Amino acid sequence: MISASDFRNGITIEKDGSVLEIVEFQHVKPGKGAAFVRTKLKDVINGGVTETTFRPTEKFPQARIDKKEYQYLYADGDLYTFMDTETYDQISLGSDIVGDSLKFVKENEMVRINSYNGNAFSVEPPMFVELEITDTEPGFKGNTATGATKPATVETGAQVAVPLFVNNGDRIKIDTRTGEYLSRA
């Protein structure tokens, strides 16, 4: 059990049958009245964010979220198959759980699968990936406006805005959280 006075960012709690992660918290001591804790809570299963206040003495059970590395094997329609590289067990997850998280992930790359009570609820790609540009327009000589970008398609089929000097066949580094070009690889 964890009390509201011990809340910190990243802690997960169980409340009313939901698993909630603390995104922000603030201990408030008004001049008049009792102290309270103002929080922003994110539902880890469906992603909804709510703002709630608690008395510092309220207690909640701490939720245990399991995070395990899996190798992404292949996609078959709406099912995505992953393998535990230690036990060689395979699991398949639907597109409702995977969502857009594999947009920049190639087959055979490692991802993290988050689960609660044995039920997977999300897939986290690596923070940075290196991918090859498969389709982009050529940059024109002399077109050197600062910060100018052009659309490009990477080998996974995702679209990325890249600088004008990047060409077909170049390998680039991408931040998977934002989908932004970082550098040439």
Mean pLDDT, range 93-108, rounded to an integer: 85
The residue-averaged pLDDT of 39-67 equals 87
Q: How far apart are CA 4 and CA 37, in angstroms?
A: 7
| Length of the chain (residues) | 185
Domain boundaries defined on the chain: 2-60, 65-124, 128-184
2-60 and 128-184: identical CATH topology: no
What DSSP state is assigned to residue 17? T
- 108-149 per-position pLDDT tens digit: 889 998 888 888 888 888 888 888 888 888 866 655 656 778
Query: Closest Cα to residue 86, out of 116, 110, 115?
Result: 110
Give the tokens for residue 172.
């680039």
Pick the CATH number of 65-124 from 3.30.420.10, 3.40.50.150, 3.30.70.360, 2.40.50.140: 2.40.50.140
pTM metric for this prediction? 0.72
| DSSP label at residue 183 | E
Query: Phi and psi (nearest 5°) for 173?
Result: -100, 130
